[in-house]
Each structure stands twice: as structure tokens, then as C-alpha cells.
Amino acid sequence: MPLPKASNIFVSNSFFIFITRFFPSLANLLVMIWYSRHLPQELYGSYQLFWIQLYVIYPIICFGIHTFIITYSRNLLANILSRIKKKHYIIFCSWIFGISSAFALLQQDAGAVSFITSFLFILTFSVSMITEALLIVFRKYILISVTGMLYAIAFCIVHWYGLTDTFSLQHIFTCLLIINLLRVFTYSCAILTEIKKDTEGYEHEEIDIPTIRSLWIHLGIYDIVQMLSSWIDKFVISLLLTAELSAIYYNGAQNIPFLPLLLSAAGSAVLLQLASDKFKNETENTISLVNQSGRVLSCIVFPIFFFLLFFRNELIVTLLSEKYIPAIPIFAVYILILPVRAYSFTTVLQRRHKGNIINAGAIAELLLACAIMYPLYLLLGLPGVALSFVISTYLQAAFYLMYTGKLLGVNPSTLIPVVNWLVKLVIFAAILISIHYIGIIYYTGKFTLFLGAMGMGLLVAISLLIELNSNKKHGNVATASFEEH
């Protein structure tokens, strides 16, 4: 049965959740480009060390709470929070302060940023993640978007003025701390305002506390493992190799901006809709939603993948300068991970409270990557380190897909739009490789990059338009496919 209303809600939620995090991600990208071009590699490596350690440690502070929150409706979440005892809040606050202190000690030993600045920075950063998740549940998208945009502008201004003869990491992160404090204050006021609106309280719902607690613990572990999977290679290299080599690897193995946000937004939108809507056949509609998510995400992910693959030389040299040419082979290997990002493999497992399976796949992926990292490094150098995570990620995706199919009682192939993806892969690859071939023959590197970017943008826009119009005219194709099986 077609779900035009559900499809519209999904796209709307995905868009708003994505846009709330778009501007800070854009600001990070701009700063990475500026600082790569203007700072010596050693100083740039020291600057990135702060962020690498922050991204490794802050998930330990949050312990999956920001992910757990959006699993439930507003009403059910309020009932869950009302069951938490005061002593548990005190324990959690102690946990936050303890981990923040450990991070601050690391920065103090590095000698670039003071203890108190580092402590307050990671504390406010973590709290902003949790409060933002609450506002997403409250559907306060405009507030989060505007706050995110203002944060991004301030973030860029601080880094722009930081590029002076008296460049100081302490000064930069002190200014960023002030911005973090203002963001947390804004979010907190908005949450209190929303709570005050519910003067009559929430309707009581029966909840299974042991199951919910188990899901939270599993999500916390999964979030930590996922962040380690993204950053452990950069963290290890920053500790074992020189700051210059660390800077080269960091820029080559850089997470592609915005794509993690797209995946998170799509997964969150599916969870929000499944939590708020009461379907007669949840299995059928779950398959329908994840298929739709895969088709929409592929319209964005696949063109970006081929653009980055075919235009990697022009991209690195133009944006980061020639001193990062050694990062190109690392980049070429690392972006091979992108096609698998066109699907949220854990959404259904999270909805069905299969946190143990999510963690089994995440931990196995991390252990496998770490196990083959050094042998591949000896064989291929720094690109081998990137390849270890590409291999482990594809195997993890296959594991999740197979188990989700088993959980829903369907063939795993029905969970992804295989034919839709294959057609797009062939068409997008042919178009972008043709543009690159023409560009390198007739134009300069910068203009070739411009042509490729224009072609990529048009492919994203056209394919998205076709996909969304198809949903409106014919409903969700995934449902029909499911019924055939």
C-alpha cells in the first residue's frame, strides 16, 4: 500500500534534521581548508590533535544518550525520564566531570590548551549534543537551525582572526568555549520552555525498563565503538608518527563533510516516524521506509563518491595546496567507503531493540580493522591503514543486512533497492568520468574541478527530483516489492 503521507513526513524530517547540523559541519570544512593552506603542517597537526582526542572521548561522556533520546516519542521519553532516580543523575554528573577531567589532563600535557578551558570545552560540547537531541524530539528544527548557523558563523570568525602572527591554540579554544556556552544556554532555555507547556503532564504509558536500559547501554557502547572506528586510526597515527605525517593522513582520511549528517538524519527520521505512527503492519512499513531512505540517500551519495574519486587530484591540490599531494593516495582509498553510506544499516535493529547485534557488528568491525591495520601499513604504507577500515566496514554492513533480513523474516535483498542502485552507479560513473576526461584534455585543473562540481550538483538535483516525483506518483515501490516476496 502506498504511503505518500509517510514519505512526505520522512523527507521533511530528514531535511530538517540534516539542516540543523549542516552549518557547523560546513564551518569545520572551511576551517580545515584555511588552516591546511596557511599553517605549517606541524602546527596544523597540533591543532587537529585537540579535535581528534575530543571526538574520541566525548562519546564516552554522552554514552549514547543523544542517540537513545530520538528512539522514542516525546510522551514515552517523558515517562522514561520520570522513572530515573535522583542518585542516577548524580552518578551521571560525576561520570561527566571525571571523563572531562581526563580529557583536560591530556590537553594540559600537550601544553597547547589549559586544563580549565579543555575541561569546560568538552563538557559544554557533550551537553550540547544531548540538548540538541531533546530539541529534535520536540521538533524545534528552526531554533536548532538558526542556532547552528550562528554558531558556524562565529566559529569561522574566531578561526579567521586566529590566523595572525601571534597564533595561539589557547586563545582560539577559549573563544570557542564562549560560543559553546551560549549554545548550551540557548538550548537549555528552549527545553525548559517546552517542558512548561506541558502543564497537564504526560499520559502514562507502560514501559519495559529493563529492555529500555539494555538498549541505552548497547547504544552507548555502539556510539563509542563507532566513533573509535572513525578516529582511532588518526588518534594512533597522531601519537606514533610526526605531526607532519599526522596532518597528511588526517587530510587524506578525512570524513567527507555532510554525509555522516545525511545518514544520521535519514536514520533519525525513520525512527521518529516509526515511534510516532501506529502502523497495522510495522514490518511492511519499516521495509518501505528503509528502502525509501536508501533510494533518496543514493541520489546524493553516489554522485559525490564518483566526483571525489575521479577528481581527487584536482580537489586536493586546489583546496589544500600542493603540500598535501602525498594525501591523494590515502584519500583515493578512504572514499571507497562512501557507497555503503547510502543506507542506514542499524535503523531497524535499533527500532527492534537489538542493541546486542548492533554492538557485535561494531566491535567486530573495529577489531578487524585494528588487526589488519599494521599488516596493510607494512604492505601499502599509510593508504593501507585507510584500506583496513574500508574492508571492515563493508563486512560489517553485510552482517547487519543479513541479520536484519532474518529479524524481519525476509530476504536481505528486499531491504535495499538493488536495481535502483545499480542503474544509478552506472549512469553517474559514466557521466562524471566523461566530464573529467574532457576537462583534463581541454581545461586547467581548477576549471576541470569546477566542471565536475557542476556536473555532480546537477546529478544530485535531477536524480533527487526524479526520485521524489516517483514516490508521489507511484507510492513506495519497496512495499510492492515486499508484497511480491
Pair 179, 60: CB distance under 8 Å: no
User: For 223-233, what is each residue's pLDDT tens digit?
Assistant: 888 888 888 88
pLDDT in tens, 119-144: 999 999 999 999 998 888 888 888 98
> What local confidence, expressed as pLDDT, does residue 136 receive?
85
Residues 6+ apart with CB under 8 A from 144: 20, 132, 135, 136, 187
* pLDDT score of 351 more than 80: no
pLDDT tier, 478 (very low <50, low <70, confident <90, very high otherwise): very low
**What is the band of 205 on the pLDDT scale with cuts at 50, 70, 90?**
low
Mean pLDDT of 372-395: 93
Q: What is the pLDDT of residues 70-89, one digit of tens each?
A: 777 777 777 777 778 888 88
Nearest to 253 by CA among 238, 263, 242: 238
Q: To the nearest 10°, report the CA torsion of 30, 32, 38, 42.
A: 170
Q: Report d(CA 200, CA 75) in Å as an integer.
A: 12
Give the whole-angstrom CA distance, residue 380 versus residue 110: 31
Provide the pLDDT for residue 476: 46
The C-alpha atoms of residue 31 and residue 357 are separated, in whole angstroms, by 37
C-alpha cell at 103: 580529557
Give the pLDDT score at 482: 33
**DSSP secondary structure letter of residue 415:** G
pLDDT at 407: 85
How is the chain split among helix, strand and coil, in percent rounded to 5? 85, 0, 15
Q: Helices 169-197 and 41-62, interaxial angle, to 10°?
A: 30
Integer-rounded Cα radius of gyration of the chain: 23
Could you tell me if 4 and 287 are in contact, meaning their C-beta atoms sit under 8 angstroms apart?
no
Which range has the worst mean pLDDT, 268-272, 448-452, 467-471?
Answer: 268-272
Tell me what pLDDT residue 462 has.
Answer: 94
Q: Please name the residues in contact with 404: beta carbons below 8 A apart, sequence gap of 6 or more.
A: 345, 348, 349, 412, 415
Q: What is the pLDDT of residues 403-450, one digit of tens each?
A: 988 888 888 888 888 899 999 999 999 999 999 999 999 888 889 999
Q: Three-state SS for 72?
A: coil
Q: CB–CB of 17/139 below 8 Å?
A: no
pTM of structure: 0.75
Q: Which segment of 270-274, 332-336, 478-482 scores lowest on mean pLDDT?
A: 478-482
- What is the tens place of the pLDDT at every residue in 298-334? 898 899 999 999 999 999 999 888 889 999 999 999 9
The residue with greater pLDDT, 18 or 368, is 368
Q: Which residue has the cell 549534543?
A: 129
Sorted by sequence, the CB contacts under 8 Å of residue 274 that are 6+ apart come out as 282, 285, 286, 289, 351
Task: Give the pLDDT mean for 102-119.
Answer: 90
Q: Name the band, by pLDDT with cuts 50, 70 and 90, for residue 270.
A: low
Q: What is the pLDDT of residue 201?
A: 56
What pLDDT is recorded for position 227?
Answer: 85
pLDDT greater at residue 265 or residue 113: 113
Per-residue model confidence (pLDDT) at position 22 = 81
Which of 25-29, 173-177, 243-247, 411-415 shows the highest mean pLDDT? 173-177
Q: Which has the minimum average pLDDT: 203-207, 226-230, 248-252?
A: 203-207
What is the CB neighbour count within 10 angstroms for residue 358? 24
d(CA 390, CA 330): 12
Per residue in 146-195, pLDDT (tens digit) is: 998 999 999 999 999 888 777 788 999 999 999 999 999 999 999 888 87
Q: Is the pLDDT of residue 289 over 50?
A: yes
* Best CA proximity match to 20, nearest among 134, 128, 142: 142
Alpha helices, DSSP H only, in 198-281?
209-240, 243-252, 259-276
Q: Tell me the average pLDDT across 338-367.
A: 83
pLDDT at 463 over 60: yes
Listed range (206-220, 243-257, 296-310) with the worst mean pLDDT:
206-220
Q: If you average pLDDT over residues 258-287, what whole number do you get? A: 65
With bands split at pLDDT 50, 70 and 90, how would you rate the model's confidence at 58? very high
Q: How sure is the predictor about 477, in pLDDT bands with cuts at 50, 70 and 90?
A: very low
Measure the CA–CA gap between 232 and 242, rounded to whole angstroms: 16
Average pLDDT over residues 351-356: 76
List the single range of 28-42, 350-364, 368-382 with lowest mean pLDDT: 350-364
| pLDDT for position 223 | 83
Residue 147 is predicted with a pLDDT of: 92
* Exposed/middle/buried for residue 60 (C-beta within 10 Å: 0-12, 13-18, 19+): buried
pLDDT for 353: 73
What would the grid cell of residue 367 be? 577489531
Q: What pLDDT does 266 receive?
A: 63
Tell me how far apart the alpha carbons of residues 272 and 264 are, in angstroms, rounded to a whole number.
12
Give the whole-angstrom CA distance, residue 392 versus residue 337.
10
Whole-number Å distance between alpha carbons of 241 and 41: 13
What is the pLDDT of the chain when averaged over all its residues?
84
